Amino acid sequence: MNVNSHQVLGLTNYRNLHMLGDLPHRALQSLAETYGPIMSCPTIVVSSPQAAELFLKTHDTIFASRPKFQFASTWLMVNGFDWRNARKICTLQLLTASKIESFAPMRKEEVGLMVQSLKSSISIRLLEIGETLTKLFHFQTKIFSSIIYVLRNGLARRMKKVSRALDIVLENIIKEHENIPSGQQDRQMDFIDMLLSLMNQPMNPNDEHAYILDRTKIKAIIIDMISGAYDTSAATIEWTFSELLRHPRVVKQVQVELEGVVGMNRMVEETDLANLTYLDMVVKESLRLHPIGPLLAPHESMEGIELNGYYVPKKSRIIINVWAIGRDPYVWSNNVEEFYPERFINSNIDLKGRDFQLIPFGSGRRGCPGIHLGLTTIKYVIAQLLHCFHWALPSGMLPNDLDMTKKFGLSMRRAKHLYAMPTYRLLN
Ligand code: HEM
């Protein structure tokens, strides 16, 4: 890697990230302009693609841990969560391409119901997009809403009480899956069924110390998956929609592509997605400007290491400012703030974490294991909404009037609700 240490390393003295205000990714971007693409003390802030590659690829083994400062991670630690084995189960058993494909009928049914409900509500009211998506994603998260409440309210000082509450919720979920009423046994398997089917079997039968998935570990994996998956796809769709409402030219282009690939007589199928190349660029551009985790999830060094002449101690916290990397004018040219999907024409950049200028799903050992499911869901929902409906802003509002203020949180959502008016456009 061709990185000059003066270009890459610079130190600043930010001891407390709360001093950075409501939008820390933005404040950190300004600091990086002064102090350079790696800032440290005691948290190291990374703000360029080359520096991100240094931490997430070159020295990935050192920086693959996570700090234990959130309730979810503390709870996972207390319950003996082992991220390496949990990831193996996620990537080899739960989130494989074939498993995700096996859920396609479920997604089709839910998206179909959403289109029907939008068709019937058109004449009545302006739609709040976030609310519509929350309803859509309810099918994936309905058993989880009480868990999210517990996670969000789980301050460390109430740890014991909250842990008990969490355990009761998780036990109920597991029991519901263990005691399926007769007549429903041949229903579609979900994530919990799959985890239960792996319970008490060694992951590697040839290894006597092999990892065995027990009830406690299953609960920990459920919590890990929920913390990673909750809100992320819905928030990305909402941001993409916001940009589309501000750019009618881009909407027209996506609809022309959909007319060519799908035609006007039927709805979109997931198998169409591979042929929707312009839509793919739209989603990349949206994730460049609006990464749901603008600072990824924090990483932590597992041992001390010297990087380009600077010593990074063990247990340093690493923050990768993906938001700033997506707006780096040296990478993306001068129109960084513009929503311009065409920048990806003839470009090989993908979202898999190999191209460090675009890493909204992270990269390396702790990169998002749900990327394939996330992207399939996002593209399918956006394609269906744009294919089935024309979308207009509330009367009197111009595209540039749309408020794009962000709210920093578990995932970065819009600060204000997004309203739009759909009109059905298919021929049947
Ligand atoms: C648009 C959708 C999504 C986005 C943008 C997204 C983004 C991310 C990011 C940025 C990370 C942290 C990566 C890092 O620190 O290097 C992450 C981790 C994670 N994501 Fe996703 N995610 C999405 C969807 C999903 C889905 C659908 C699932 C599961 C069904 C999922 C499960 C996880 C898990 C379990 C982790 C923790 C991985 C670890 O710590 O080893 N994500 N995701």
Q: What is the pLDDT of residues 339-395, one digit of tens each?
A: 999 999 999 999 999 999 999 999 999 999 999 999 999 999 999 999 999 999 988
Instruction: Give, using CA atoms, the residue closest to atom 1 of ligand 1.
Output: 233
**By C-alpha distance, which of 199, 380, 357 is closest to 283?**
380
368-28-412 Cα angle (round to 5): 45
Instruction: Answer whether CATH 1.10.630.10 is correct for domain 5-424.
Output: yes
pLDDT tens for residues 322-333? 999 999 999 998
CB atoms within 10 A of CB 66: 18
Q: What is the mean pLDDT of residues 1-12?
A: 36
**pLDDT at position 296:** 93
What distance, in Å, lies between the first and last C-alpha atoms of the chain?
A: 55
The token duo for 298 is 């924090």
**pLDDT at position 13:** 37
CA distance 415 to 418: 9
The token duo for 37 is 């693409």
**pLDDT at position 14:** 45
What contacts 16, CB < 8 A, 6 or more positions away? none
3-state class of 396 per DSSP? coil
Q: Is 43 in the pocket of ligand 1 (CB under 6 A)?
A: no
- Higher pLDDT: 3 or 288? It is 288
pLDDT bin (cut points 50, 70, 90) of residue 24 is confident
CA distance 191 to 196: 9
**pLDDT at position 279:** 98
Q: Residue 242 in contact with residue 414, Cβ under 8 Å?
A: yes
**pLDDT at position 64:** 95
173-369-283 Cα angle (round to 5): 110
- Higher pLDDT: 316 or 164? It is 316
Q: Is 36 in the pocket of ligand 1 (CB under 6 A)?
A: no
ipTM above 0.90 for this complex: yes
pLDDT bin (cut points 50, 70, 90) of residue 151 is low
Residue 124 has pLDDT above 60, yes or no: no
Q: Where are the domains of the chain?
A: 5-424
**pLDDT at position 183:** 75
Which of 368, 381, 410 has most ligand 1 atoms within 8 Å of its beta carbon, as the pocket-test mutant? 368
Q: Is 81 in the pocket of ligand 1 (CB under 6 A)?
A: no
Distance from the CA of 352 to the center of ligand 1, in angstroms? 12
Alpha carbon distances (Å) from 134 to 140, 238, 306, 317, 387 = 10, 10, 45, 33, 20
pLDDT tens for residues 218-269? 888 888 888 788 789 999 999 999 999 999 999 999 999 999 999 999 999 9
**pLDDT at position 143:** 46
